[in-house]
Structure formats: structure tokens, C-alpha cells
Amino acid sequence: MTDKETRERIISVVKREVVPAIGCTEPMAVALCTAKATEQLHCRPEHIDVKLSANILKNAMGVGIPGTGMTGLPIAIALGALIGKSEYQLEVLKDLTPEALEEGKKYVAEGRIAISLKEGACDKLYIEVTTSSGAKSSSAIIAGGHTHFVTEDTVTTATDSATDDIELNMRLVYDFATTAPLDEIRFIEQTRAYNMNAAREALKGNYGHNLGKTIERPMSKGIFGNSIFSHIISRTASACDARMGGAMIPVMSNSGSGNQGICATNPVCVYAKENENTEEELIRALMLSHLTAIYIKQSLGPLSALCGCVVASIGSSVGITYLMGGNYERVCYSVKNMIANLTGMICDGAKPSCSLKITSGVSTAVLSALLSIEGKCVSSTEGIVDEDVDKSIHNLTAIGANGMGITDDMVLRIMTSKKASQTSK
């Protein structure tokens, strides 16, 4: 068992990285920054100037804003100024009302919002908002984390302090998740309450591409069957459909991403229920899944050219492997099998079709877990997989954080030029 001080530091990191969020975290972070700048202005702003890193802009262009029926940043920014509360963090717009929405639409139509790329070098996760009214103005900056304020005029949230950070490795992740006193890690079960509820609520409406609902239909059951596998895909895709489609449904995020939180949670919960695992096994599997994702994100960074479902699906694969009875060796097999398959999946922004990528990730997670339990593992002679599991993970993150930089630039150019051509028509 890991010592008490180490356990406390790990728990602090998990509680910081696994938090509730409503809607896509990138536009919500922009709304949060707007809310903070507006609060400091002490009045309704006449104009809002927003400067964003390329990755934030990419992830916020095409995603639904909860409760609005609209997509993109302008309405999120307007509502952040009009009804947003910074104390709500990534649930900043949860006080939305129909009246506020109409006011927000009017604010956007009046042309009070300017959005541009931040010039010069900046963090991949960078948001700068300046609100002004007459001669008064106030600015707020978020950088490095979705709720991490970094200006002198604002106060860094205690939950975003890096003082409790601990350098993780796969052995430490596994030992902590499987041996820590159950009462210390029971809080991770909240992810099931949030994210499985999102899947249920999604079936009541038509969100995104309805991928989750499609998998539940008779024709799909004729293809996938009425199986644990199809249920895992459906429950995970449904929650993503709702989130990307703008449903006012909170989810528990992981490392600043609601989709990653869903992907690290729902496959594990569905498998545990249908495999009749115990409550303790489920709690430990959820912790193993979420902490694995957090570990990988430590070297990948909060935003990158690599799709976040790759990271979260690795987490769900090791969680499912544990529920299948797998030990540390088999968990490492699952990680390597995942890296051999999904490396290179690009992030081209947050949008309804993210549910398709999540389905690919979750399908691979189940396949990798099954292979690992059979003692099958991609060898170190194949591709970027190394004999050492941690080296394999760092090979993956090096490609995502560094090697795919040109890809990230190209994706943004394609997306912005397409948007411009659509607007001109």
C-alpha cells in the first residue's frame, strides 16, 4: 500500500482534475474568464474583447452551448458576462433562463464581442478577456488549466494550485487504485452518478448525431447484438451526444474535458454492472481509469493535437481489465495494446461528431482488455510500443504534444478557412 502522504497528494490531484462541468469545457472556460472580468468591472460591459490560443479556438468553434440551441463562442461569452458566476467554475452558466438567453442573443447581435487569436507565443490553453464600459476596463486571463486564473488582478483558485502535484507512473497509479483504503477513494463514485445520468437523460432527446440512440435501435442490435459491448458503446456515446449537442446536463470531467470524463467512466460502470462486479471493484476500477488518464495528461498537456478520447479510452481499458480479474501485468498489456492502435487520432475541435471518435476509442478499449486477459500484448518490436509501459506512454505523449504540432496548425487552418468560406456564402 502507498504511504499516507503519497495517497493524500494523489487524492488532491484527482479531486482537482475530476470536477463537474456543464457543456464543452473550452467555451465554458471562456465564459468563466468573461464572468471573472465582468465581476471585476462591477457593471455590465459595453464591449468584450477576447483573445484565444489556437487550441481553445479550435475546440470552441463548432460545439453546442448548453441550454441555448446555439453553437460557438459568441453566445457563451455574452452569457458569461450577463449571468455567469465565476464561483461556479465550469458550471458557470448553470443559472441560464429563457429571458437571459434572449438578452444574450441581443447582446451578440449588437456586435459587442470581438474574438481573435492571441498574437505571439502563449500556452496552448490561453484565454484573455477584457471587458469595458466607458473609460473603465478589466481583464482576466486563464492559462494552463481550464479554471486557472493567472493575472495579478485575480486570485488563482485553490483547487488549481500545483503544490500538491505528484509525478505519477503506471505502477504507482495501479498500486494506489487497488490498495488505498476504500473510504479514501469512494468519492470517485460520483463520476458514475453524473456520467451515467447524462447517458440516461440523452435518450430523452435528440442530441448531436444520436449515435447512442442509434446503437439501441433494432437494426443496430441485429448487428451488434444486445451485449455488454453494445451497451458500453451506447451509454458512452449517448452521454457525449448530449454534451456536444448542448444539453443542460452536468458531467464529471477529467483533466479539463467532459468527454474524457465520460469515456473514463461509462464503459467501466456498464461492464461492472453487467459482469456483476462488487461495489469495491467498481470504485477501484473507476479510480484506476481516471488516474491513468490524469497520468497520461501530465506529459501530454491539457490540449493537444491528439484526440483526448485516446487518453481516456486507455483509462477505461485498464479499468475494464481490472474488472476482468487482470493484475498489473495485464493492465500494462492493455495500455500497450491501446497505444498500438489509437495513436495518431487527431483532435479537430469539440463538436457533435466527437461521439464517433469516443465510440472508436471505447471499442478499442474493450478489445485491448480482452487481448490482455488472454495474455496477448503488442511487443516492443512493433511501432512505438516499448518494453517499459511508462516509456510507451511517453512515446505516445511525445507524438501528441510535439510531433503533431504541424498537424494541429493544419487542422486549425482548414477549420478557420472553411468557416470563413461558409460565412461568405
- C-alpha cell, 170: 503506471
User: What is the model's pLDDT at position 164?
Assistant: 54
- pLDDT of 48 > 90? The answer is yes
For residue 409, what pLDDT is reported?
A: 84
For 96-122, letters b (16+ CB in 10 Å) and e give beeebbeebbebbeeebbebeebeeeb
CA nearest neighbour of 310 among 292, 285, 333: 292
Task: Compute the distance between CA of residue 69 and CA of residue 11 in angstroms, rounded to an integer.
Answer: 37
Judge whether residue 161 has pLDDT over 80: no
Is-contact 58 124, C-beta < 8 A?
Answer: no
Q: What is the pLDDT at residue 162? A: 44
Q: Which of 363, 397, 413, 60 is nearest to 211 (CA)?
A: 363
CA count, 13 A, side-chain hemisphere, 142: 31
What dihedral do alpha carbons 91, 95, 97, 99 form, nearest 10°?
-110
Question: What percent of the chain shows pLDDT beyond 70?
Answer: 95
Could you tell me the pLDDT band of residue 284, with boundaries at 50, 70 and 90?
A: very high
154 pLDDT more than 70? no
| pLDDT for position 253 | 93
**54 backbone dihedrals φ, ψ, rounded to 5°:** -60, -40
pTM of the predicted protein model: 0.88
pLDDT exceeds 60 at position 66:
yes
184-198: pLDDT as tens digits: 999 999 999 999 999
pLDDT in tens, 301-341: 878 888 888 999 999 999 999 999 999 999 999 999 999 99
DSSP state of 257: B
pLDDT digits (tens, 9 = 90+) for 6-18: 999 999 999 999 9
SS3 category, 28: helix
Helix or strand holding residue 297 (H, E): helix 279-300
| Residue labelled with grid coordinates 489556437 | 54
- 63, 71 Cβ separation under 8 angstroms: yes
Identify which has the larger pLDDT, 286 or 407: 286
Q: What is the pLDDT of residues 358-394, one digit of tens each?
A: 999 999 999 999 999 999 999 999 999 999 999 999 9
Residue 82 CB: number of other CB atoms within 10 A?
21
pLDDT tens-digit readout, 197-224: 999 988 888 888 899 989 888 888 888 8
Average pLDDT over residues 128-151: 92
Q: What are residue 136's DSSP bridge partners?
A: 133
What pLDDT does 61 receive?
Answer: 78
Measured CA to CA, the distance from residue 115 to residue 113 in angstroms comes to 7
pLDDT band at 419 (very low <50, low <70, confident <90, very high): low
As a whole number, mean pLDDT of residues 337-362 equals: 90
